[in-house]
């Protein structure tokens, strides 16, 4: 038995109540001196405070779990966006490389701005159409010989046309 001067009577009374307790019955509370009542009130306040702290810890644990879930979702979103950004960067690099190749093939070498480059391409198209018209639109097999420069073919075709008899 505990013989503590304040809690001794209360503990022995509680042990006796537990031994004699029937189901559905409240164990008898120790009665007696004012110091026992004060100790009981102190115990009740401490129990209440413990329940409050446990509830606060439970809320804090739930908040930490929620914060961890949010952080995980944010990390997944960031990784997804980084992957999309890298894919877009690869596409952009590919398109810029393609544009540079087109500029080089057209003889521009990056000298013209976009609208000027488009005008230059349109002019090349008009020149091509004029050359094709002069060559007979490629209708005859001899219009453009393999390995022959287009300017040489056009000059040869024009010289041949001049040498032919006029049919008017």
Task: Provide the residue-wise pLDDT of the chain in tens; the chain has 168 residues.
Answer: 445 555 555 555 555 555 555 555 555 555 567 778 888 888 999 999 999 999 888 888 999 999 999 999 999 999 999 999 999 999 999 999 998 888 888 888 788 888 998 898 888 888 877 777 766 655 555 666 667 777 777 777 777 766 655 454
Question: Is residue 85 assigned to a domain?
Answer: yes
List, in order, residues 6 or more apart from 39 with CB less than 8 Å away: 6, 7, 10
Q: How many CB atoms lie within 10 A of CB 60?
A: 10
Question: Is residue 117 assigned to a domain?
Answer: yes
What's the predicted TM-score (pTM) here?
A: 0.40
Number of domains in the chain: 2
Range of the domain at 69: 47-110
Question: Domain boundary at 110, 130, 146, which?
Answer: 110
Asked if 36 and 30 count as a contact pair (C-beta separation under 8 A), the reply is yes
pLDDT of residue 36: 81
Considering the domain architecture, whether residues 163 and 120 belong to the same structural domain is answered as: yes
Question: Is residue 64 assigned to a domain?
Answer: yes
Question: Is residue 168 assigned to a domain?
Answer: yes
Question: Is residue 160 assigned to a domain?
Answer: yes
Question: Is residue 9 assigned to a domain?
Answer: no
**Euclidean distance between CA atoms 125 and 133, whole angstroms:** 12
Considering the domain architecture, whether residues 55 and 97 belong to the same structural domain is answered as: yes
pLDDT of residue 138: 53
Question: Is residue 163 assigned to a domain?
Answer: yes
Considering the domain architecture, whether residues 118 and 165 belong to the same structural domain is answered as: yes
Considering the domain architecture, whether residues 103 and 118 belong to the same structural domain is answered as: no
Considering the domain architecture, whether residues 65 and 106 belong to the same structural domain is answered as: yes
Question: Is residue 101 assigned to a domain?
Answer: yes
**Euclidean distance between CA atoms 84 and 91, whole angstroms:** 11
């Amino acid at each position: 038995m505990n013989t503590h001067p304040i809690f001794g009577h209360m503990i022995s009374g509680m042990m006796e109540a537990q031994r004699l307790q029937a189901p559905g019955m409240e164990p008898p509370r120790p009665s007696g001196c004012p110091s026992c009542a004060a100790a009981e009130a102190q115990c009740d306040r401490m129990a209440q405070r413990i329940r409050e702290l446990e509830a606060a810890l439970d809320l804090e644990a739930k908040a930490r779990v929620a914060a961890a879930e949010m952080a995980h979702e944010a990390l997944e979103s960031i990784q997804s966006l980084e992957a999309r950004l890298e894919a877009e960067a690869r596409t952009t690099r590919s398109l810029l490389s393609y544009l540079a190749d087109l500029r080089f093939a057209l003889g521009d070498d990056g000298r013209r701005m976009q609208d000027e480059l488009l005008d230059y391409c349109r002019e090349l198209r008009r020149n091509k159409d004029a050359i094709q018209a002069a060559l007979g639109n490629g209708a005859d097999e001899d219009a453009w010989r393999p390995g022959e420069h287009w300017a040489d073919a056009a000059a040869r075709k024009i010289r041949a046309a001049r040498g032919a008899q006029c049919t008017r």
